[in-house]
Amino acid sequence: MIKERFFLYRKTFLALIVAGIFISIPWVTSDFFVLMAIRVMYFGMLTMSLTFLAGELGVVSLMQASFFGIAGYFVAILQTRYGLPFPFPPLVGIAVSLIIAGLLGMLVIRVRGIYFLMLTLVLGQLVWALASQWSSVTEGDTGIMNVYAPVLFGISMEKSKTAFYYFQLFFFAGATWFLIALRRSPFGLMLRGIRESESRMRMLGYPVSLLRYAAFVFAALVAAIGGVFFVYFMGLINPSSVSLATNVETLLAAILGGINTLAGAVLGTGILKTLDVVLSGITKRYLLFMGIMFLFVILFAPKGIIGTVRNYGRSFLSPLMRWFGLGED
Amino acid sequence: MTEFLLNICHLDAYYGKSHILQGIDLQVRSGELVVVVGRNGMGKTTLLRSVLGLSPVQRRGEIVFNGLETVKKLTHEIASMGVGYVPQGRLLFPSLTVDEHMQFVCRNKKKESRWTPEEVYNLFPELRQRARVNGGRLSGGEQQMLAIGRALVTNPLLLMMDEPSEGLAQIVIKRVEQVCRHLVSEGMAILLVEQNLEMAQGLADRAFIFYNGRIAYEAPGDTFRREREKVGSFLGI
């Protein structure tokens, strides 16, 4: 019992360190880094929603960007066209995104494996086609511009990127906590049971499909929150944010970091977005380098960075990880 | 007519085109231990799977549980009506710990329920020591206890056990027998499928022998214990 509580303290300690790093970013680094961190956080929420589904349900979705984009589009439309005041566009946007996830979820949750991938691909492309073709609502390929971040407590999130950073950090931390708490809750335990054997769960009286469905909607919620911050930060949204390219990039970020961990999702997104900026500044052929990098990751570190550190980094990292109570997870 | 907890009438069960159970009539009352014996492939396991509607069994007929018709219901609905199942081969979750098995399956926590994880640990003290061990790393006997415990914490009205003695040492079989008697004395109904004739005869309040998907023999426990030769002839002993 005492040992257990000690581990708990260490985990809190680790959480404090991580929180400290995130909170101190605007103080100790440059503006450029703050902007990068903002991008990494909202795309990170998108990637986390993918890795949550991959880790908890064992399925790969190619439509998480749709929920991200639908929320973003609704914020943009409600704000620029109907002039709704602040809390309403994001609330409605997230709600609509959840409703659509609820409707499409009934369809996709019935299938597994490659069929899930194909079905989400098709539905994701459908959302993209709507965004691109339904010009009267979405302004077509031009997209909707001039979306402004709100003013909160007298501070304009549009003018102060530091304020925006903290505003987003609050929700980013909330979304991360939400997914971790879900994982550890009885609900998360049931999902683990389903992953091991669906028929055994049925036999014990669990509505397997309903639980999977709920997980799908929860994942969409996190993606939708990311989408709101995306549109506030960029000030515009166009069909490329719900395109297949965005979905694939999300998947790549997840694979790079480690597909079934939340930390991997953020790490992978961070590396991918940084390389994106750095490499594209150096060479026009940066996609080629990205491709080669992925080749290496898939060949030599198929479990991603987090998975590889867990497997091979035992010698020097494992004492540290064990000290923090992160030995096996 | 007495009210039956489980009343199976004219049950036909199929795996695809093969007609496994043919016109089964079988009843279980509360607080009664009903034993089904028979050689391999006679449809005993299929009977239990039919009650729960586990795929790929297709059912036709009537299965009334606790006053409600269940043939059209889904497996998880039937299970949560109060049917606990201890499957053959235990079928635990290999990577979940003993404690996790108990915690997340535990149902009706709020009501004053008879079976909590704590109560199961009192029934099987061995499991308490192994609470943090994964299901896949338990000994056969411990696995069986956990499978029974996992079914108990759902607080079932009827416990269906499929060959609980399979692959267990004699001493563990005796434990399982004791537990069965204890549960029945508390008013639980048990539907036990067994190959182990000694255990079946020791426990039965009523017994059925399945032969090629039909009921070939039905008798109260005492008769079942007396008619050794007749019973043996059905089982090919």
Q: Where residue A215 falls among pLDDT bands split at 50, 70, 90?
A: very high
Q: Tell me the chain B residues in contact with residue A208 when contact means C-beta distances shorter than 8 Å.
A: 76
> A305 to each of A253, A275, A284, A317, how far by Cα in Å?
11, 15, 26, 13
Flag whether pLDDT at A167 surpasses 50: yes
- Which 8-state DSSP code applies to residue B216? E
Which residue type is seen at B177? Answer: E
The CB density around residue A243, as the number of other CB atoms within 10 Å, is 20
Does residue A139 sit in helix, strand or coil? coil
Flag whether pLDDT at A316 surpasses 70: no
Does residue A236 sit in helix, strand or coil? coil
Minimal-distance CA residue of chain A relative to B80: A205
Q: Tell me the chain A residues in contact with residue B76 when contact means C-beta distances shorter than 8 Å.
A: 201-202, 204-208
Flag whether pLDDT at A4 surpasses 80: no
pTM listed for this prediction: 0.84
Minimal-distance CA residue of chain B relative to A209: B76
Q: Where residue A73 falls among pLDDT bands split at 50, 70, 90?
A: very high
Flag whether pLDDT at B9 surpasses 90: yes
CA distance A55 to chain B (A): 15
Q: Residue A87 class from Cβ within 10 Å (0-12 exposed, 13-18 middle, 19+ buried)? A: exposed
The pLDDT, as a whole number, for residue B160 is 95
Q: What is the pLDDT of residues B124-180, one digit of tens each?
A: 998 999 888 888 888 888 999 999 999 998 889 999 999 999 888 899 999 999 999
The whole-angstrom separation of Cα A138 and Cα A124 is 16
The whole-angstrom separation of Cα A93 and Cα A224 is 8
Flag whether pLDDT at A9 surpasses 60: yes
Which residue type is seen at A204? Answer: L
From the list A251, A270, A264, A255, the residue with the least C-alpha distance to A309 is A264
Mention every residue, 6+ apart, whose C-beta is less than 8 A from residue B222.
none
Instruction: Kindly state the average pLDDT of the residues A20-46.
Output: 88
Instruction: Kindly state the average pLDDT of the residues A28-35.
Output: 85
Cβ contact (<8 Å) for A192 and B79? no
The whole-angstrom separation of Cα B136 and Cα B93 is 7
From the list A176, A219, A211, the residue with the least C-alpha distance to A195 is A211
Cβ contact (<8 Å) for A203 and B94? no
Minimal-distance CA residue of chain B relative to A193: B93
- Identify the CATH class of A2-251: mainly alpha
Flag whether pLDDT at A124 surpasses 70: yes
Instruction: Kindly state the average pLDDT of the residues A42-53.
Output: 93
Flag whether pLDDT at B1 surpasses 50: no
The whole-angstrom separation of Cα B200 and Cα B207 is 8
Q: Where are the domains of chain A?
A: 2-251
User: Which phi and psi angles does B28 have, rounded to 5°?
Assistant: -130, 130
The pLDDT, as a whole number, for residue B99 is 87
> B113 to each of A10, B106, B156, B187, how far by Cα in Å?
37, 10, 10, 14
Q: What is the pLDDT of residues A217-243, one digit of tens each?
A: 999 999 999 999 999 999 889 899 999
Q: Tell me the chain A residues in contact with residue B105 when contact means C-beta distances shorter than 8 Å.
A: 204
Cβ contact (<8 Å) for A204 and B96? no
Q: What is the pLDDT of residues B173-214, one digit of tens each?
A: 999 999 999 999 998 999 999 988 989 999 999 999 999 999
How many CB pairs below 8 Å do chains A and B form together?
56
The pLDDT, as a whole number, for residue B10 is 93
> A245 to each of A48, A128, A225, B154, how far by Cα in Å?
17, 11, 20, 47
The pLDDT, as a whole number, for residue A41 is 92
ipTM for the predicted complex comes to 0.82
Instruction: Kindly state the average pLDDT of the residues A25-51.
Output: 89
Cβ contact (<8 Å) for A204 and B54? no
Q: Beta-strand (E) ranges in chain B?
A: 6-15, 18-28, 33-37, 57-65, 68-69, 83-86, 158-162, 189-194, 206-211, 214-220
Cβ contact (<8 Å) for B75 and A203? yes
Q: Tell me the chain A residues in contact with residue B77 when contact means C-beta distances shorter than 8 Å.
A: 205
Q: What is the pLDDT of residues B34-89, one digit of tens each?
A: 999 988 888 899 999 999 998 788 999 999 999 999 999 999 999 989 999 999 88
Longest pairwise C-alpha distance within chain A: 64
Cβ contact (<8 Å) for B87 and A190? no
The whole-angstrom separation of Cα A228 and Cα A210 is 27
Q: Where residue A86 falls among pLDDT bands split at 50, 70, 90?
A: confident
CA distance B196 to chain A (A): 25
Flag whether pLDDT at A40 surpasses 80: yes
From the list B224, B209, B164, the residue with the least C-alpha distance to B26 is B209
The pLDDT, as a whole number, for residue A145 is 85
- What is the Cα B93 distance to its own chain's centre? 19
**Percentage helix, strand, coil for chain A under 3-state DSSP, each rounded to 5:** 80, 0, 20
Q: What is the pLDDT of residues A75-84, one digit of tens each?
A: 999 998 888 8
**Tokens describing residue B195:** 């190959």
CATH number for the domain running over B1-82+157-165+193-237: 3.40.50.300
Q: With the CA atoms of A64, A67, A70 and A75 taken in that order, what torsion angle do they form, in degrees rounded to the nearest 10?
A: -120
Minimal-distance CA residue of chain A relative to B95: A196
Q: Tell me the chain A residues in contact with residue B107 when contact means C-beta distances shorter than 8 Å.
A: 205
Instruction: Kindly state the average pLDDT of the residues A108-115.
Output: 89
Q: Which residues of A touch B (CB under 8 A)?
A: 186, 189-190, 192-193, 196-197, 199-208
Any idea which of A147-151, A268-272, B6-10, B46-50 has the lowest mean pLDDT? A147-151
**Tokens describing residue A150:** 């709100």
The pLDDT, as a whole number, for residue A328 is 46
The pLDDT, as a whole number, for residue A296 is 86
The pLDDT, as a whole number, for residue A287 is 80
Cβ contact (<8 Å) for A200 and B52? no
Whole-number average pLDDT of chain B: 89
Flag whether pLDDT at A116 surpasses 50: yes
In this complex, is the C-beta atom of B80 within 8 Å of any C-beta atom belonging to chain A?
yes
Whole-number average pLDDT of chain A: 86
The whole-angstrom separation of Cα B191 and Cα B161 is 6
> A190 to each of A74, A182, B54, how far by Cα in Å?
34, 11, 19
Q: Where are the domains of chain B?
A: 1-82+157-165+193-237
Of B93, B95, B103, the CB nearest to A200: B93
**Tokens describing residue A136:** 């009267």
The pLDDT, as a whole number, for residue A22 is 86
> A247 to each of A125, A234, B7, how far by Cα in Å?
10, 18, 53
